Structure 1
Amino acid sequence: MKKIGFILILTFVSLGVFAQEVLTLKECYNLLETNYPLVKQHQLLENQNQIDNSIITNSKLPQISLDAQATYQSEVMEFPVAMSSITPLNKDQYRATVSINQLIFNGGATTANLKVKTAELKTKKKSIETNIYQLKMQINQLYFSILLTQETFKLLEVKKNQLKTKLKEVKSGIKHGVLLPASDSVLEAELLKINQQFIEVENRKLSLIETLFSFIGQPFDSDVKLEIPLITTRLDTEITRPELDLFQLKKEEITAQEAFVSKQNSVKLNGFFTGGYGNPGLNMLDNSFHSFYTVGVKLHWNVFDWNTNKKQQQSLAIHKDVIENETEVFKLNTTIALNKQQKEIEKVSAFINSDQEIIRLRKKVLKTLDAQLKNGVITSSVYITEFTNLFEAENILLQHKIQAQLAKENYNIIKGQ
């Protein structure tokens, strides 16, 4: 029985530890990159690329075709009277053939096409990585919003405990006739308001957690605790975003396409074999069923294509210039965003300094009012007003601290750090 009890206690303790699991911002990023539905496209693209490569590689294999035909002609070739001993051709003719074509040389077009597919795969996979990276801004917003509710909850706890302590003092003052009988009602009403604030903060926190966990692919856990990250930010404009890698891969893809296009008019050499059975065979003068075959090589060279190949090259060159322009625009917009975010960091930092001074002054005032309330000089309403002012100042400081952390992390994400 004792052993069963010990196991139950251990189970509850383990559940309690699990319920208090701590989640970090870095873990959220890692889970996003692992579990977000878009990640599944990586494997899909790999599978598609393997199929495309197989199709292209098959062009190097022998191409086998089967043909069969039966025809009836209204006229056939007639022979002069001097050759009347030759049996005239039948008007009905039959033929079945098997043809084998083998690519011998195509100027490296197959290899170039494979390189195009490889470049396309890299571009598509980097595009997925870029799209997921851009979601980190939303992860930041959710993470720090949850963090704010988490810290606000702690602040409310402190405020509630302080009011409970003050309520005991007031009740004692009423009991000894120092304070008016209704002085405790104001404090009790304020405690009820705090309970409402608890409910409001908790509901907002649960909603945010549910949204965050949807992004990172985790089962909902209302008891999760978020770690306050230690964020370091270098305020410079050196950009290392994955979008820059994407632009580079797009240009490399175009370079591969240019190489492929340049080989499309190359000399192509094929070997072929055709074997068949028909009436007539290759000897048109023999009017009977025979087997036959032909074997040889075929050379093809598209000497003139009305500058189609050249125009394709020009179009690809323009596309490369467009990507270069997109890169410049992206760098400009990112630099503007970084400057804006830096101003936000500086502004919030200035607010924090002011908040701390405001709180210091409000605490000084509240300390004076606390003594006056004990002696019955002021009413509970006056005390609660200043107490609420102090709480609001502390709450604003908390918001600004979280806002500063968010601004710094957003700066890092915008920069690509």
Structure 2
Amino acid sequence: MRKLHFTASVFLLFVFSAKAQSLTIDSSYKLAENNYPLIKQYDLIEKTKEYNISNANKAYLPQVSITAIEGYVFGDFPSMGSGSDSKFKFIGIGQVNQTIWDGGATKTQKKILESSTKVKKTNIDVSLRELRSRVNQLYFGILLIDEQLKQLAVQNGILNNNIDKVKKLNENGYSYKMDVDEIQVEQLKLKQQQKDFIFTRKGYIKMLSYLINTKIDDQTKFEKPITADPSPDATIKRPELLLYQNQRDLADVNAEMHKVNLMPKIGVLGAGIMLAPGMSLGNTTISTLGVVGLNASWNINALYKNGNEKELTKLEKDKINVQEQTFLFNTNLQIDQKTADIDRQKEILKDDDAIIALRANIQKGYQLKYDNGAGPLVDLLNAIENEKDAHTQKALHEIQLLMSMYDYQTIIGN
């Protein structure tokens, strides 16, 4: 699955580089996830699991141990066959154990490794999901700045038209020099705002570029996303829910190991002993001894702790259930808050077009008054500023609504 994600990321990067002027919010999500260093842990976790399972499978291989002792023998000891009375002897002990049945320990150990791997991977999924909030803030921040820059350009165009008129009137003695100065002051203020937005945008672009590991410049077009209205019966699909389930599964397989510890272990035993020099027992001289047979072991210590282990497993699962319930409570609370924000923003947005239309009419009225010499320039400048603010507010409300909708999708896990 991760290879598929990587391939998708490479494809997105290729398409983005080929066009070099367009970026979407969804492609930003994918690129950010595949660029995040934490994603490298997927392969590391999988390889670790494979090695551990390989080690677990080796439990059924013959276990060989060899012990060599060169030492001084205390006490009475049979005489040596060679007639030597030396108390220094070499003793070699070799033992071979072959497990026939380990009570299910190997099988359970592999299940624990599988469940533990799932928990670790899901933890990474949870962390990667948090990247979406960062992408949202930067991406929609850039969209909002772009809308504000458009409105500044429109307002600057209106001021340019007026300053040309005022200069001509001033040249003909029909207006004051201060009228020209007033418009130039407004243009300088617009220029300051424009610089502020441009530098802020550059900062956002730099951070987003670093986050998705893709070159973005001032010419890049950021596509405005389209999303559907929140569904009142939307299902939460967050990776946290899978994490809690995987943690419960891990607790269950750990409990299986407690049962395994109650089982006896059966195997085949082979042992050999060599003494040098050998020892004489009557008419027979023995220097080697071998033993072959079945061995069975049963450690009953686990019986004493069995009841406590069951209670500990139950407590562990209860703790996970509480964590899940807390997560769902907080998530549903976030969903309700975000849904209320979306409804509020929609209602506010409904009036923006009407406000813009009225502000445009007011601006035209003051423009006509000023052109006819019936009104001061300051009234016209205020009207232009108010119309610009109306457009800016609408753009702000639109981007806020879009961001809220995408935040909603992030909260439920889509």
Q: State the TM-score, normalized to the length of structure 2.
A: 0.89
CA contact (8 A) 1:65 1:100 kept: yes
Alignment pair present for 1:94 and 2:90: yes
Distance verdict in 2 for CA 1:184–1:135, change over 3 Å: same
Task: Give the aligned partner of residue 121 of structure 1.
Answer: 117
How far apart in 2 are the matches of 1:324 and 1:208? Answer: 40
Task: Give the aligned partner of residue 292 of structure 2.
Answer: 295
Task: Give the aligned partner of residue 13 of structure 2.
Answer: none
Residues 364-393 of structure 1: per-residue CA shift (max 9 Å, x gap): 111100001112222322211221111112
Task: Give the aligned partner of residue 230 of structure 2.
Answer: 234
Q: 2:194 aligns with which of 192, 198, 217?
A: 198
How far apart in 2 are the matches of 1:275 and 1:281? Answer: 14
Q: Aligned partner of 2:195: which letter?
A: I
Q: 2:107 aligns with which of 101, 105, 111?
A: 111
Task: Give the aligned partner of residue 54 of structure 1.
Answer: 54
Distance verdict in 2 for CA 1:307–1:375, change over 3 Å: same
Displacement of 1:222:
4.1
Task: Give the aligned partner of residue 389 of structure 1.
Answer: 386
- What is the DSSP-based 3-state SS (H/G/I as helix, E as strand, rest coil) of the residue aligned with 1:77? coil
CA contact (8 A) 2:276 2:287 kept: yes
Displacement of 1:180:
2.4
Displacement of 1:331:
1.1
Q: Aligned partner of 2:392: which letter?
A: N
Q: Aligned partner of 1:253: which letter?
A: L
Task: Give the aligned partner of residue 272 of structure 1.
Answer: 269
CA contact (8 A) 1:76 1:91 kept: no
- What is the DSSP-based 3-state SS (H/G/I as helix, E as strand, rest coil) of the residue aligned with 2:271? strand
| Equivalent residues in 2 for 1:144-223, closer than 5 Å | 144-223=140-219
Displacement of 1:338:
0.5
Q: State the TM-score, normalized to the length of structure 1.
A: 0.88
- What is the DSSP-based 3-state SS (H/G/I as helix, E as strand, rest coil) of the residue aligned with 2:290? strand
How far apart in 2 are the matches of 1:170 and 1:96? Answer: 113
How far apart in 2 are the matches of 1:215 and 1:276? Answer: 67
How far apart in 2 are the matches of 1:353 and 1:379? Answer: 33
CA contact (8 A) 2:78 2:279 kept: no
Task: Give the aligned partner of residue 361 of structure 2.
Answer: 364
Displacement of 1:19:
8.1
User: What runs of 5+ residues in structure 1 fail to find an aligned partner?
Assistant: 1-16
Distance verdict in 2 for CA 1:77–1:223, change over 3 Å: same
Alignment pair present for 1:342 and 2:339: yes
How far apart in 1 are the matches of 2:322 and 2:336? Answer: 21
Alignment pair present for 1:323 and 2:317: no
- What is the DSSP-based 3-state SS (H/G/I as helix, E as strand, rest coil) of the residue aligned with 2:328? helix
Q: Aligned partner of 1:343: which letter?
A: A
Q: 1:352 aligns with which of 349, 352, 356?
A: 349
Residues 199-251 of structure 1: per-residue CA shift (max 9 Å, x gap): 11011111112222222232453432211000113332521211111111111
How far apart in 1 are the matches of 2:358 and 2:90? Answer: 109
Distance verdict in 2 for CA 1:280–1:271, change over 3 Å: farther
| Equivalent residues in 2 for 1:29-40, closer than 5 Å | 29-40=29-40
How far apart in 1 are the matches of 2:160 and 2:19? Answer: 29
Q: Aligned partner of 2:203: which letter?
A: S
Task: Give the aligned partner of residue 11 of structure 1.
Answer: none
How far apart in 2 are the matches of 1:191 and 1:285? Answer: 121
- RMSD, aligned α-carbons: 2.5
Q: Aligned partner of 1:177: which letter?
A: G
Alignment pair present for 1:254 and 2:251: yes
Task: Give the aligned partner of residue 405 of structure 1.
Answer: 402
Distance verdict in 2 for CA 1:153–1:18, change over 3 Å: farther
- What is the DSSP-based 3-state SS (H/G/I as helix, E as strand, rest coil) of the residue aligned with 1:396? helix
Task: Give the aligned partner of residue 21 of structure 2.
Answer: 21
Displacement of 1:319:
0.6
- Higher alpha-carbon deviation: 370-379 or 113-122: 370-379
How far apart in 2 are the matches of 1:67 and 1:110? Answer: 27
- What is the DSSP-based 3-state SS (H/G/I as helix, E as strand, rest coil) of the residue aligned with 1:290? strand
How far apart in 2 are the matches of 1:107 and 1:283? Answer: 43
CA contact (8 A) 2:115 2:246 kept: yes
Task: Give the aligned partner of residue 7 of structure 1.
Answer: none
Displacement of 1:182:
2.9
Q: Aligned partner of 2:342: which letter?
A: I
Displacement of 1:358:
2.1
Residues 77-116 of structure 1: per-residue CA shift (max 9 Å, x gap): 369xxxx999686422211233222111112110011011
